[in-house]
Chains A and B, each alone.
Chain A
């Protein structure tokens, strides 16, 4: 791009179009990484899975319409219940909300894209393949039937010898990759890519909600990923984590599952609450009341939700005091939830409410969600829970919470942001008709379930006794279910119709105040021709010329002369411009990586373990290629960011997105590791002797101490490398030698420790002690090997002069991971070798 071209505004816009465009045709679809494209895919795929999950529920309701109905046999009924719950929780609720966040956040924050576009695309492919994996089980007549919670021993190899649980464990874990990668992307986006001036008291509440939710995903999903891994190890290789005859404990699964499962409810709800906090002020025509109170509620709900998991286990025989802790925490969470509801009511009360379709859905949300919350408080009482446990009362409660708390705000958001995405207005009449169908259908379906549950009708069972006298209530539920389904189809029909036949929308049709409405409708791939600067939480209400200004390619990053996809990086708290972030463009790598992972997992399900292991080689090669080509490796140290301001590129900036991504990744891995250590101590707590007689080896021997010393050496080498870099090492050897030595030390540590441990702890199939020790040691070893590989990668980059004292980012990332892996391995070493001696 020449200088003359970059001075002409029209040519600048054309250049931006070209830089940010997806490639044409099918190739473009397969290689796209742009956030709007990927987010739309998340939303459409999520809604498609919702339709499939809803269809399954229609069959379930038909089966329950009469006590002697023959629509589904017991086995098929269990499969449909399992797939319905799994689909709605894992393939609809979380991905669709992440899709909303991926689409909206950059626009709300004044950014052009998410900071890790390839990661977003990789997440979507994993999600799609994971969902298809799960449903492919129907083709092999091996659909999982153990419930969406997959309790053991029902799902272990003895009681579920088929492939059903394997499809569930592998398919869901595969799909969860999307949630976790999305969390990394969203956290870094909120922290680092806000428009200049958008400090933390001016952040849209949706961004706060997504920030809290993404941290919850980072900490809450790993326990389930670990539980799935342990159960798959048990099913595939005969490990015995959950086998009480060999020192295992089936309750370990429940603890790990619900450690994920209860935060999951709030992972679903908080983004929806964020949607409510955006829609309510627009239709009340005033800023939200109690901004700080809502932030307080979001943060505290995020934490409290991790103290509720045992309230799903009230009936398993845990001591009363422990139940009381969780009962109290379950009631305490009602406080922040109530704060949010009162803040929304206060906003409406003090504003001039405008009753359009999005607001109708929010009124539906208020009514339904509060009822669901109240039955939740009832179930938090242990004596009541014992009476209602595993009845349809719980089914009614969870649907009031999830449909009220997720789907109504989701539909409100869908109608609210539809003009932004499509440039057209949805039909007000069809929207209102669909709303009333959904509200009436919903209550007809689920109000009777409270009664059938209280009368003793059990859940997850394909029939019920006619003596209960609940047939007419069930018939009513079934009829209501079909009305609800018609309403949802009407909504989706309306949305689809809007894209084709909707009336052209004028700019900012709801007269909203937040930044996403400053983007042209429908938005171009680059969102903003120049990055806006804001000085209020509702910048469009305060500055009416803002939308016109950001449509001109002047100001921050207005000049696309470098021909690269660029973001403006700002300070975490202050939102002052700090860096220019160069992004990766369209690429085959996300699809290729997800494809190889899919192949690996397919081989694993088929029992071809060698073939699965062989897939690791191409996967590793692709990931190395990914790491080598990410961003703009040759970016200069500093670049012009607009208005004559020169900023460092991300490779030279302390708060680089890559740095924060590795911090979040360490949180995720730390949660996974903590869950594994929890499993170790949980099994120890229920054991008679630890290690069991004939296993373990007393005090650690020379070899184990040597392995620990190797870890210390790796740490030391890392520190020497960092010191050399900080000192501006002129000679590359000063950096490369310690990094390579650190790699060798970590590999040596693994090489010394693992064979000794394998001999001492015995076969992992012999006892839960050996199972958990093997897993813990393997987990630490994998991290050390990855850290060693990262060090080698950085050495290669140093050799190519892509990393040096002025551009230290990649070494900082590798060094952070090295330190994490070493500390984790040292803790694992202490748990395995010192704890049995000291106990």
Chain B
């Protein structure tokens, strides 16, 4: 965890929702490309599915890593606070991602 004692720890707090933002942007762009360029709807579903799995895995990995840091933080209250915050943000980011991508299961990409 030597890297976490450096300034980048603050950017660590942003990482779960950066993943959410990236996922949102790419999924929305993919939908626009499929409809704008006349690609097959299957490519949209496969693409969105793969992106969502990748985003979920990334956020889950960040969250699990944060939990390990919480356990290892010991008396370092600042580090424990940051790691716990990141873990909580991961849960919320997963909920937001699932909620946002849910309509893709129900609707045709270009109706």
Binding site for B on A (CB under 8 A): 191, 199-201, 292-293, 295-296, 299-300, 302-304, 306-307, 319-322, 324-325, 327-329, 331-332, 335-336, 571-574, 655, 685-686
Contact = CB atoms under 8 A, between A and B. Distances in A.
B85 A307 contact: no
**A-B pairs with the 4 shortest C-beta distances?**
A324-B103, A303-B17, A201-B81, A685-B36
A306 B78 contact: no
Interface of B: 5, 7, 9-10, 13-14, 17-18, 20-21, 24, 27-28, 31-33, 35-37, 77-78, 81-82, 84-85, 88-89, 92-93, 95-96, 99-104, 106-111
Nearest to A330: B100
Given A300-B96, A306-B21, A573-B9, A322 B31 contact: yes
A688 to B, nearest CB: 12
B95 A335 contact: yes
10 contacts: A296-B89, A319-B111, A320-B107, A321-B103, A321-B107, A322-B31, A329-B96, A573-B78, A685-B32, A685-B36
B103 A328 contact: yes
A319 B35 contact: yes
B109 A292 contact: no
B44 to A, nearest CB: 8
Contacts of A655: 7
A304 B96 contact: yes
B100 A325 contact: yes
B110 to A, nearest CB: 5
Nearest to A199: B78
Nearest to A573: B9
A233 to B, nearest CB: 25
B78 A200 contact: yes
A299 B16 CA distance: 10
A685 B7 contact: no
Nearest to B6: A573
A321 B110 contact: yes
A321 B104 contact: yes
Contacts of A319: 31, 35, 109-111
Contacts of A304: 17, 20, 96
Contacts of B77: 201
A574 B100 contact: no
Given A201-B78, A685-B36, A325 B99 contact: no
A354 B95 CA distance: 37
Contacts of A306: 21
Interface SS, A side: helix
Contacts of B93: 300
Contacts of B95: 332, 335
A321 B108 CA distance: 7
Nearest to A654: B7
Given A300-B17, A324-B103, A328-B102, A335 B109 contact: no
A481 B107 CA distance: 44
A803 to B, nearest CB: 23
Contacts of B103: 321, 324-325, 327-328
Contacts of A200: 10, 78, 81-82
A335 B92 contact: yes
Given A300-B96, A302-B17, 7 more contacts: A303-B14, A303-B17, A307-B100, A321-B31, A572-B7, A574-B78, A655-B7
A303 B20 contact: yes
A332 B96 contact: yes
A723 to B, nearest CB: 22
B7 A573 contact: yes
A48 to B, nearest CB: 37
A687 B11 CA distance: 38
Contact of B21 (A295, A303, A321, A574): A303
A19 B101 CA distance: 58
Contacts of A324: 103, 106-107
A324 B10 CA distance: 32
Contact of B82 (A303, A307, A325, A573): A573
Specify which of B27, B31, B103 lies most central, judged by the most chain A CB atoms within 10 Å of its CB: B103
Contacts of A686: 36
B17 A299 contact: yes
B46 to A, nearest CB: 15
Given A307-B100, A573-B7, A685-B33, A292 B81 contact: yes
A573 B80 CA distance: 12
B100 A685 contact: no
